[in-house]
Amino acid sequence: MTPPRIEIKSSPHIKRAGSVEQIMRTVVVALLPVCAFSVYHFGLSALALMATTTLACVLTEQLFNRLSGRGSTLGDYSTVITGLLLALTLPPGFPLWMAAVTGFVGVALGKALFGGLGFNPFNPALIGRAFAAAAFPQAISTWTEAGHPARFTELLPSTLTAPFTTPAPVDAYTAATPLGQWKFQGAELQAWELFTGMTPGSAGETSALLILLCGLFMVARGAMNWRIPAAILASAFLTAAAFYAADPGHFPTPWAVLFSGGLMLGAVFMASDMVGSPVTPAGVWLYGLLIGFLAIIIRFFGGQPEGVMYAILLGNAASPLIEQITQPRPYGKRKGRGA
């Protein structure tokens, strides 16, 4: 009689049932309400922007797959997520030709250059957004009035700007973001308006309430580590509270800070990216605390009213070091000694 065969394999011995495709599909589903609110908020230009960045990202991914001799990877939905997130970080009236270039750069430099999904150290959507901030500074800082009456019947004038030309701002459509008004005009931030989302801003960062609900959906489906956004928001809140307590006449309330700008979108959908974030139990908390702190420091003392993008990219860069210094102690090994 043949004895039973025992296989000894390396950890992990318990695996989750969800595949990469299932997780990414859940993220896409969670993004759809944010995209729908963006279209309701800003109209046809927001829809055209999302379609352009997503198409540019998908085509770029397919191009590099063919150049490298790999099969199609579009079925994992990661490139669709990159395209949607990139559009949600841009002004609704961002010219479409600039959006297409930005989508190409985000996937080419932020993903394909490193070998594809699973190898990119930085969030590709934020790489594209950082490129846009450097290459198209005027267009990326021109914001659109929310709820414009003609938003469902016509595109914003800047949307169809001819390639390699600078869009001329139209005063009837432009408006300053709440963070810009606070930073440069000393206006007070209204926490409730920021929480519900009826304010100017990037295409998908305006409704903190909706983004939170979508984040809870991803947590319930096991598509996100809730500790990362929790650590980011807690760190941002405490940092802002410290400055507000020191000078309430100059700094906004911590609740207004929490609900304004791209902090909520970045914490829920970008910093939680499984590729660019640590996996150690202590590392995810340290990673989130670092991003939340940096976001508020850059926002309060930097030259621009927003710092979430740079904070997350810095967190991505620090992720390998964070993982290294937060490795759990192996079972049976004492600190500083052998087994």
Number of domains in the chain: 1
Contact 141, 128 (CB under 8 A): no
Other Cβ atoms closer than 10 A to 244: 18
Q: Which comes out higher in pLDDT, residue 85 or 188?
A: 85
Q: Is residue 294 part of a domain?
A: no
What is the average pLDDT score of the chain? 86
Token pair recorded at residue 70: 């790999």
Give pLDDT, residue 339. 47
Contact 263, 257 (CB under 8 A): yes
Span 60-72, average pLDDT: 87
- In percent, the amount of the chain with pLDDT more than 70 equals 85
Q: pLDDT band at residue 198, thresholds of 50, 70 and 90? A: low
Q: pLDDT band at residue 27, thresholds of 50, 70 and 90? A: very high
Q: Is residue 332 part of a domain?
A: no
Q: Is residue 292 part of a domain?
A: no
**320 pLDDT above the threshold of 80:** yes
Q: Which comes out higher in pLDDT, residue 280 or 6?
A: 280
Quick: pLDDT tens for 201-248. Answer: 677 776 888 999 999 999 999 889 999 999 999 999 999 999 999 999
DSSP H/E element including 125: helix 124-135
Q: Is residue 263 part of a domain?
A: no
Quick: pLDDT tens for 104-155. Answer: 999 999 999 888 888 889 999 999 999 999 999 988 888 877 778 888 999 9
In this predicted structure, which of 44-48, 54-58, 184-188 has the lowest mean pLDDT?
A: 184-188
CA distances from 73 to 24, 82, 104, 132 (A): 12, 13, 16, 25
> Which residue matches tokens 């609740």?
255
Q: Is residue 78 part of a domain?
A: yes
Q: Is residue 144 part of a domain?
A: yes
Give pLDDT, residue 186. 65
- What is the Rg, in whole angstroms, of the alpha carbon atoms belonging to the chain? 21
What does pTM read for this prediction? 0.88
Give pLDDT, residue 167. 73
**276 pLDDT above the threshold of 70:** yes
Span 299-328, average pLDDT: 92
Contact 91, 203 (CB under 8 A): yes
Span 278-298, average pLDDT: 95
Q: Is residue 99 part of a domain?
A: yes
Q: Which domain holds residue 141?
A: 19-175
Give pLDDT, residue 70. 81
Q: Is residue 320 part of a domain?
A: no
